[in-house]
Structure 1
């Protein structure tokens, strides 16, 4: 099944996408409530909803398919790390620590946009996209989502969406020299969409080791820039969920980004490999289209950059230990 949020005639609705039409959830439920019910509840909800009022998909404006409780974004593709490190460090290198666990950072759930939305980036000279799969967490009866083992963690995967982790590489590079972040190089925008595809729909693409072998592509202004198989990640998605829950908790509505796929899944990888800003950074008016097999396509346009009030530099301090 496909699950979405949309507006029609000024009214926001949430429900199923059935072919070329959308149908609201029965009982006035929203996506957040359905994620709390869990994947096993979806077939019954569909039976309750399918005869309800339908609207042509072409007549609605799709929104981000959920309002995430949190967003953890992983860095799970070795080829991506090799390329980006070449640009940052001057040599292609993957730290030994990368292989030990599927590392992630938390990004901002309050700046999520949806399909066809216009991105309003910060003032940056190196705007980039990142082509990723978003893993959407749902409830599992009898589980609190804490300290999951990989064998059971997959049950918490409700479905998948496309995730574009927009990046201002110059801002990101500056702040990460402080050994913290990324923060302002990332937190201005994450795009999700066009809908959530329930996990069972992609089960036929799982390989013998549990990796999701679906093709991912990204186009800028109609030109193919990058493509990869999602199964090239270093870990299958249930292990992402297990690691995220280690000494912590995953809850319905959490989104786990796969990390940027390799072979041109972002411009920064190509800049590192090419030794120059080739292809050029994104600019106002550029269209970024992401297509992931079994999920759909996500299209956005870059809008005008937004300036922000300046923050002063750090002041020299005396380091006195008592007040003068």
Structure 2
């Protein structure tokens, strides 16, 4: 099964997706049903909702609508699960080679901005102050059943589906921020593509290898030229293991999104910059079109456009020198 969100004649619709690749159509779900509703519902609800939509709703060509992010999550975690990506990007960001020993011990992640999600074909403005915009080719899992301290052996019960994930990154902002040993922050805050739809696990089981990984082909291109390609099964952890780790000591909830992290072999420009010692290919500029293809799921394609210049956004001043006195002194408002 596949589920999408779209603007259809000005109305937001959650729909089942049918049809062959390149000729997909949407069938609206009953009433106000959302992906989060289906993700948290008992087993069989998604199939029932799909069957009702295919029987009862008119087919609307995907080519005639604007696709929205297929889910509106409360939380988005992005992992860094590919060793090859870490090798290249570490050299690009901080000039160091290799992979730190801590990476192998447990899957690391950061929380990114759920308000920054964009659709499969939306434009991507360059963030204010960014001179080194990058894409990141990832796959995300959408959580189904809620869970806390989930056992990896049973984490498949908490998977609702999978979607393509592009973690747009302002690399120059990221380099500065991470010198503070906190972040990333504005380096990752502006946009994340999610789409084109969510594919349920049953459609991807044929790609699962003997170690439990999904061996999906991944490909990234800029302006029609392939930049990188990899297999999703080159990740260091399965999605079930990522869900288990995310739930340690806390909860994962229906609709939560967990990104795999960027694949290797050119899954982003920064990895190539680190390996080559120069910005080759160059950072993304307005007019560039980035396309990500994931076998069994689909494609997203976004055009980079000019964003707001720093001169046209409110300015936060640098930190001002302060004393370290422990008692109040001087003028204090009454």
Shorter chain as denominator, the TM-score bin is over 0.9
- Per the TM alignment, residue 9 of structure 1 is displaced from its structure 2 partner at its CA by 1.4
Distance between the aligned counterparts of 2:52 and 2:89, measured in 1? 48
RMSD: 1.1
Number of the residue aligned with 1:201: 203
Number of the residue aligned with 2:5: 5
Residue pairs, 1:1-324, within 5 angstroms: 1-19=1-19, 20-37=24-41, 40-52=44-56, 53-122=58-127, 123-139=129-145, 144-307=146-309, 308-324=313-329
- Per the TM alignment, residue 38 of structure 1 is displaced from its structure 2 partner at its CA by 5.0
- Mind listing any 5+ residue stretches in structure 1 that lack a counterpart? none
Q: TM-score, normalized by length of structure 1?
A: 0.96
Runs of 4+ in 1 over 3 A off after TM superposition: none
- Per the TM alignment, residue 91 of structure 1 is displaced from its structure 2 partner at its CA by 3.9
Distance between the aligned counterparts of 2:250 and 2:99, measured in 1? 27
Which stretch shifts more, 279-288 or 90-99?
90-99
- Per the TM alignment, residue 128 of structure 1 is displaced from its structure 2 partner at its CA by 0.3
Tell me if structure 2 keeps the 8 A contact 1:39–1:198. no
Count of paired positions: 320
Per-residue displacement from partner, 1:103-128 (whole Å, max 9, x unpaired)?
Answer: 10000000110011011121211100
Which stretch shifts more, 113-122 or 43-52?
43-52
Tell me if structure 1 keeps the 8 A contact 2:220–2:228. yes
- Mind listing any 5+ residue stretches in structure 2 that lack a counterpart? 330-334
Per-residue displacement from partner, 1:8-51 (whole Å, max 9, x unpaired)?
Answer: 21121111011131101124312221122155321222222211
Distance between the aligned counterparts of 1:176 and 1:314, measured in 2? 17
Q: Compared with structure 1, are the counterparts of its residues 15 and 38 closer, same or farther at alpha carbon in structure 2 (3 Å cutoff)?
A: farther
